[in-house]
Amino acid sequence: MTDTQNTSLAGQLAARFGDMLNISTVRNETVAELAAADLVAVASALRDEPAFLFSELIDLCGIDYLGYGQTEWNTETVSGSGFSRGVEGQALGRFDWASRPRGDGEPQPRRFAAVIHLLSIEHNRRLRLRVFCEDDSLPVIPSLTQVWPGSNWFEREAFDLYGIIFDGHPDLRRILTDYGFVGHPFRKDFPLIGNVEVRYDPEQKRVVYQPVSIEPRVLVPRTIRNDADLVQAKAEAADNWRDN
């Protein structure tokens, strides 16, 4: 998508929806943030109105902003052998929302969000919607199954992994974890070692569940690093400018 197309789309969205959308263009991608209460109405307009015609929902996923913008390892100055060592986590899930670490930027006021990726085949355009859940203790946003039926399984996945409730979903139940699974494993405060472990008991001759016996240890620290492709592209663009 070109810069002209992005600017045109952002302008069309601003003219059509006004203050309902907070529109930005990041890395040549148009992003629109909106309130959960406006989601279904805006989504229906984006699908049906000739100026947009976003007929395809490509993806929908959940996000947990717990610890957003905070890094546990400095990738710019760390030694070459440093990554072989584990990092001490902050409690089983590192931390909770109230005691979350703050990054250098503005902290997120709300914890959970859903991100929706749309495609307009007619106009060859893509759009990303972001919707925050108003209540951190019970994250709820409207279901988009009535607008794009294909969102059904995506919403079940976000419910399973993040605990986001999609109001109006026809069959909201887990899709990846087991029926008796406790918690939502992609939440940042979910214990990194899990809640239970499974083993075969030779005396009982069956599989048994028991509390986790391993010590919590963070082997892969959270890091903030520049995307290598973008860094390389920026360097090549600078070289081309000098050559010309």
> Cα–Cα distances in Å, from 231 out to 1, 24, 29, 78, 224?
20, 22, 17, 19, 14
pLDDT for 95 equals 61
pLDDT for 209 equals 86
As beta bridge partners, residue 112 has: 64
pLDDT for 172 equals 96
pLDDT for 3 equals 45
pLDDT for 160 equals 97
As beta bridge partners, residue 132 has: 113
CA distance 123 to 28: 16
pLDDT for 218 equals 61
Give the CATH architecture of domain 1-65+110-186.
Answer: 2-Layer Sandwich (3.30)
Give, rounded to a whole angstrom, the gap between the first and last alpha carbons of the chain: 25
pTM of structure: 0.76
3-state DSSP assignment of residue 227? coil
For the chain, the domains span 1-65+110-186, 78-107+193-244
Averages of pLDDT over each 10 residues, the chain, 244 residues: 60 95 90 97 97 96 85 58 49 58 63 97 96 95 97 98 97 90 88 82 91 71 62 70 62
Rounded to the nearest angstrom, the gap between the alpha carbon of residue 207 and the centroid of all alpha carbons in its chain is 35
Rounded to the nearest angstrom, the gap between the alpha carbon of residue 99 and the centroid of all alpha carbons in its chain is 21
3-state DSSP assignment of residue 5? helix
pLDDT for 117 equals 98
At 227, which amino acid appears?
Answer: D
> Cα–Cα distances in Å, from 223 out to 78, 87, 129, 227?
11, 12, 25, 12
pLDDT for 28 equals 83
